[in-house]
Amino acid sequence: MINTRSSLIKKYLYIVVLAIFALFIGPWLSTASAATGSSSPRVILNGRELDFEVPPIIENSRTLVPLRGIFEAMGANVDWNAASRVVTASKGAIAVILPVDSSTAIVNGNPCILDVPPRIVSGRTLAPLRFVGEAFGGRVTWDGKTKTVYISNASVDKPAAVKVNANQVNLRNGPSTLTAVVGRAGFGEIFEVLEEQDGWYRVSRGSETAWLAGWLVVAGPPAGTPEPEPQPQERIVVLDAGHGGFDPGASGNTLKEKDVNLKITQGVGELLAQKGVTVVYTRSDDRYVSLEERSSIANRLNASIFVSIHNNAGDLPSASGTETYFYAPASNLDLFAQREARAKLAKAIQTELVSMLLRKDRGVKEANLSVLRNTLMPSALVEVVFISNPMEEALLQNNDFINRAALGIANGIMAFMNDID
């Protein structure tokens, strides 16, 4: 009897505790659940909210969104290879290859480094927001207060011509910010428009075509505007920062050649731009560009000069100094016809660089290097100093030394151009 009464009391107390829990804790759980659900970002494409079987997520401060749903809403064709776990998508001039769990995507044959790798969630591929939104020409904005992603890739009317409305814009080989840069255009430059896609314009420059972002231009002069007076042909200098991306080049104790090359190259470009020279970079960030593409960029632009910038490495840590290369063998008649100009360009850079750096003068040399062999204009490859030499690696960590290296190369290029005027 006592045991029965004790059991009833325990059951009664248990029910009371559950009631109190439901009264006070239940609403909190409901609110937390609602908050969790509301934390999933919304995606609005061209003013229309998209619905997904698997919602976007925020992971380590990065937003991952369903790739197929957005790509198809933007008009792309999407395929999934389960065996290789690779997504391929295409639309117009753009082709995208996206391996799951890889931080490198391929856009029109060019590697594109992702913030975070794509991953599979509940049988759907989620990928970084900005890549997905921009891959096929979209402009992506993020409203942190409402956790809303806005993507715009709406088509616009095609004008006959457009005028660049920014200080400098990229010309690309496809209608997307993820495609390769094939040139640059300055403020006020006017282009004939050949076609429009997703707010991008395919324009012509001489015999070449490229894509311009529509939000960086305004409609050009109306039909019937008198043609401007012919101007002297623009001289373009293509600067090539050696290595990049998964190709680090040589390494010192702390420095990677690809990083130093890029820093010096950008310094050279800034100095040349100040003198009114049009500069195009084969890469302007840490990305891989094939040797063949580096030459092709210069050839497509019909550049006046091509200069590839590197730092050397030797078997012995004592190896030091500066050297510059050219290539113009008698066995290649096209290059041999430029032999004097190519040798003069290399000598001008070597002379100015040694004068600025005061390192050992290793001289001008001739070598069958890809970027020298495949460029159609006077070209040179400079090895600034030896990153494998501890003393010279320490110099490369000094901003003053980097600036003097850039000034030496820029002075050499200007000396060459002034000499052939």
Say yes or no to pLDDT of 69 above 50: yes
Rounded mean pLDDT, 192-204 = 83
Pairing of strands 110-113, 104-107: antiparallel
| Residue 6's pLDDT band (cuts 50, 70, 90) | low
Condensed to tens digits (0 to 9), the pLDDT of residues 224-271 reads: 444 444 444 557 899 999 999 999 999 999 999 999 999 999 999 999
The lowest-confidence range among 165-174, 217-226, 243-252 is 217-226
220 pLDDT band (50/70/90 cuts)? low
Q: Name residues whose C-beta falls within 8 Å of residue 343's C-beta, 6 or more positions apart in sequence.
A: 326, 328, 364
How confident is residue 223, by pLDDT bands cut at 50, 70 and 90? very low
Tokens 């311009």 -> residue: 212
Domain 161-219, CATH class in plain words: mainly beta
φ/ψ of 145, rounded to 5, equals -70, -45
CA distance 93 to 164: 22
pLDDT of 1 above 50? no
Does position 195 have pLDDT exceeding 70, yes or no?
yes
Which tokens hold the place of 310? 């590197």
Query: What DSSP character marks residue 256?
Result: B
Top CATH class, 236-420: alpha beta
What are the tokens at 353? 């660089």
Could you give the percent of the chain with pLDDT greater than 90? 36
| pLDDT given for residue 347 in this prediction | 96
The pLDDT value given to residue 12: 56
Catalytic residue flag (residue 59): no
Q: How far apart are the C-alpha atoms of 25 and 32, rounded to whole Å?
A: 11
- 200-214 pLDDT, tens digit per residue, is 888 887 678 888 887
Exposure on the CB side of residue 233, measured as CA atoms within 13 A: 10
The residues, ordered by sequence, that sit 6+ positions from 206 with a Cβ below 8 Å of its Cβ are 302
First to last CA, the chain: 116
Measured CA to CA, the distance from residue 107 to residue 97 in angstroms comes to: 7
| Mean pLDDT estimate for the chain | 82
The length of the chain, given as a count of residues: 421
As a whole number of angstroms, the longest Cα–Cα distance in the chain is: 116
> Count of CB atoms within 10 A of residue 10's CB?
10
Q: Are 406 and 311 in contact (CB under 8 A)?
A: no
| Choices 3.40.50.2300, 3.40.50.720, 3.30.457.10, 3.30.70.20: CATH for 42-152 | 3.30.457.10
Share of the chain above pLDDT 70, in %: 85
Beta strands in 271-334 (DSSP E): 278-281, 305-312, 322-326
Domain extents in the chain:
42-152, 161-219, 236-420
Predicted TM-score (pTM) of this structure:
0.49
Quick: pLDDT tens for 325-354: 999 999 988 899 999 999 999 999 999 999
DSSP string, 170-226: EEESSSSTTSPEEEEEETT-EEEEEEEETTEEEEEETTEEEEEEGGGEEE-PPTTPP
- Selecting among 189, 196, 383, 393, the annotated active-site residue is 383
Provide mean pLDDT across the span 313-332.
94
Q: Residue 30: pLDDT band by 50, 70, 90 thresholds?
A: very low
pLDDT tens sequence across 86-143: 888 888 778 888 888 888 888 877 777 777 888 888 888 888 877 877 877 777 777 7
User: Can you tell me the distance from the alpha carbon of 28 to that of 233, in angstroms, rounded to the nearest whole number?
Assistant: 72
Quick one: which of 129, 3, 119 has its CA closest to 71? 129
Planar angle of CA 400, 402, 407, nearest 5 degrees: 95
34 pLDDT tier (thresholds 50, 70, 90): very low
Whether the predicted pLDDT of 27 surpasses 50: no
Indicate the pLDDT class of residue 393, thresholds 50, 70 and 90.
Answer: very high
Query: Alpha-carbon distance 353 to 401, whole Å?
Result: 11
pLDDT of 9 over the 90 cut: no
